Amino acid sequence: MDFMGILKWVLISVHVVATIVLIFVILLQESKTAGAGQAITGSDTETFFGKGKGNTYDAIMRRWTTACAIIFLITSVSLTLLY
């Protein structure tokens, strides 16, 4: 197998794994329907300004979603250009 064939299989493998992880990370996130009511009443202000806001479950899921989406986008464009 030549270099391009190996590169295609590696990109396809990374693409499939990124797709599956992205689906699961999106499904694990909580709904944002309560956000509008909390924004009006201000009941969530103490957690917004808290020192642990970067380590919350939502923040971690948001970072995983962003990372998987970027990997998905890069592998999609790379596979398109290779084929």
Identify whether 70 is part of a domain.
yes
Q: Is residue 74 part of a domain?
A: yes
Question: Does residue 44 sit within a domain?
Answer: no
pLDDT given for residue 10 in this prediction: 94
Q: Evaluate whether residue 43 is within a structural domain.
A: no
Q: Kindly report the pTM of this predicted structure.
A: 0.71
Q: Residue 76 sits in which domain range?
A: 1-30+54-83
Q: Is 3 domain-assigned?
A: yes
Q: What is the pLDDT of residue 4?
A: 87
Number of folded domains that form the chain: 1
Residue 56 has a pLDDT of: 86
What pLDDT, in 10s, does the model give residues 18-74? Answer: 999 999 999 998 877 655 555 565 555 555 555 566 678 888 899 999 999 999 999
User: What are 65-74's contacts with CB under 8 Å, separation 24+?
Assistant: 65/22, 65/25, 65/26, 65/29, 68/18, 68/21, 68/22, 68/25, 69/22, 71/14, 71/18, 72/15, 72/18, 72/19, 72/22
**41 occurs within a structural domain:** no
Would you state the pLDDT for residue 30?
A: 81
Structural domain includes residue 21: yes
